[in-house]
Amino acid sequence: MSHLHLVTTTPPQRPYEEMLKDHKKILQNYFDSYTARGLSATTKVGACGFIQRWFEKIRVPSADGERQLFIWEVMNLGAGRQRIRDFLLALSTVDDDNLACVRPTTARTYAGHLERLFLSTLEFPFIEGLQTISSKYGPIENPFTGVEYPIHSRDILRAERFFLSPEQILELLVFLREVYPGLIHRTSTVGRLYTIVMLITETGMRCNEFINLDALGLNRDIFYDKKVIQTRFGKGFNSSGFQTRLIPLTNPAAITLRQYEQEVRPQFCNHLVNPALFLSWNGRRLSYSAIQSCFTRLMEIARKHGLNLPPNLTIHDLRASFATNYIEAHPDQFWELMELLGHVSPSSTRLYIRSRGQKRWLTMKEARGPRVGKTGFGQMVYNTQERGYSRVGS
């Protein structure tokens, strides 16, 4: 028994057509999981297209010359890791202008597509029925084991300009409610934008989350009695599909949303038919591109009227502003902030916060106080003794 040695056997070579069929079957098993996880058609087309092309473009020698790479050849023990290293190295190759072929974030996206494929295949290592990949083509592993990813964008601190202080948010809200309605044609769209800005700065919601909120039907997402908003489009783990979560509804956000639903939303077409909380002027669910356009226009006009706003500010930066302002007001509540933002990783939350080195004592009561604007909202008064809001004349 002491003279026994470990013997590695090489699986027998099989016809190309048979291997290609098995390879495609394994990939299809993974692609089918995209639909089961509820991912969008756009996500599925992008990821699946890249994976298929990746295997087709990499050529390996064969009896007839060369052929495409098969998944078990990348996942075999040892050699597969070198293929992945070579691939990531090729992505970081510098051109004549001393710039990488692709950005680090793009390279990381490509690597993520592949690693999720390999992890899923390890979890469900079947070709068809109960026949496993290992029984036919030899043992497999995750070839990304021990391989370093390209630098992620979260490793690079965002500039201070992307964050608004409470004072700047207050100034923006006052301008949006008091001045902006007189500068554009459709005041109802101002009321809609005011509600969106208020909602993000009070709750930290993602754009994709508030765009997909419903106001009508069984899927209504706003619960004033429970003081929560339900979002069915929160992010989960990579490729895990949308996650449903509950977000606390603050009093200012609740008051603004009530007024919007009662006085502003009815001014849009299809408000009794389309369940979307935020509608476009033609009665469809508001798109992300439309929101970006409206916010960009607001920024341009606000700066012309003297507002101190950083350049290149996007609507998503309001979410980052919420995170930074929250952690400065509650420095011991990092995990609560992580839950509010809907993050599954602390590193994601750290990307959103940046200490400014000073405390912010100014409250935002002025922005929710008495306002007589043209946005379609009634006038509200903040009662400092009762610490609440009431409609003028009620």
The verdict on 112 and 237 lying in the same domain is no
The verdict on 344 and 213 lying in the same domain is yes
Is position 181 within any domain? yes
Instruction: For residue 343, indicate whether it is catalytic.
Output: yes
The verdict on 147 and 273 lying in the same domain is no
The verdict on 118 and 215 lying in the same domain is no
The verdict on 104 and 172 lying in the same domain is no
Question: How large a percentage of the chain has pLDDT more than 90?
Answer: 37
Is position 199 within any domain? yes
Burial of 142 (0-12, 13-18, 19+ CB in 10 A): middle
Q: Choose between 28 and 87: higher pLDDT.
A: 28
Catalytic residue among 23, 206, 245, 368: 206
Banded pLDDT at 9 (limits 50, 70, 90): very low
Instruction: For residue 352, indicate whether it is catalytic.
Output: yes
| Structural domains of the chain, count | 2
Instruction: For residue 319, indicate whether it is catalytic.
Output: yes
Domain CATH code at residue 234: 1.10.443.10
User: Which of 97, 124, 154 finishes a domain?
Assistant: 154
Is position 1 within any domain? no
In contact, 47 and 34? CB cutoff 8 Å: yes
CA atoms within 13 A on the CB side of 382: 14
The verdict on 172 and 84 lying in the same domain is no
The verdict on 198 and 216 lying in the same domain is yes
Calculate the alpha carbon distances from 212 to 184, 192, 275, 278 in Å: 26, 14, 10, 8
Catalytic residue among 81, 116, 265, 343: 343
Is position 258 within any domain? yes
User: Which of 128, 154, 180 finishes a domain?
Assistant: 154
The pLDDT score that the predictor gives to residue 98 is 58
Is position 8 within any domain? no
The verdict on 250 and 280 lying in the same domain is yes
How confident is the model over 320-360, as pLDDT tens digits? 889 888 888 888 888 888 888 887 777 677 766 655 444 43
β-strand partners of 247: 229
How confident is the model over 111-139, as pLDDT tens digits? 888 999 999 999 999 998 889 999 999 99
The verdict on 33 and 99 lying in the same domain is yes
Calculate the alpha carbon distances from 303 to 168, 172, 309, 370 in Å: 12, 10, 7, 24
Is position 198 within any domain? yes
User: Which of 120, 139, 154 finishes a domain?
Assistant: 154
Instruction: For residue 260, indicate whether it is catalytic.
Output: no
Catalytic residue among 316, 350, 374, 382: 316
Catalytic residue among 137, 194, 352, 389: 352
Catalytic residue among 108, 116, 177, 235: 235
Question: How large a percentage of the chain has pLDDT more than 70?
Answer: 77
In contact, 142 and 122? CB cutoff 8 Å: yes
The verdict on 234 and 195 lying in the same domain is yes
| Chain CA centroid to CA 378, Å | 34
**Domain of 92?**
16-154
Is position 3 within any domain? no
Q: Is the dihedral of CA 172, 178, 181, 184 positive or negative?
A: negative
The verdict on 146 and 172 lying in the same domain is no
β-strand partners of 214: 276
- Report d(CA 316, CA 322) in Å as an integer: 10
The verdict on 128 and 222 lying in the same domain is no
Instruction: For residue 316, indicate whether it is catalytic.
Output: yes
Catalytic residue among 319, 354, 368, 371: 319
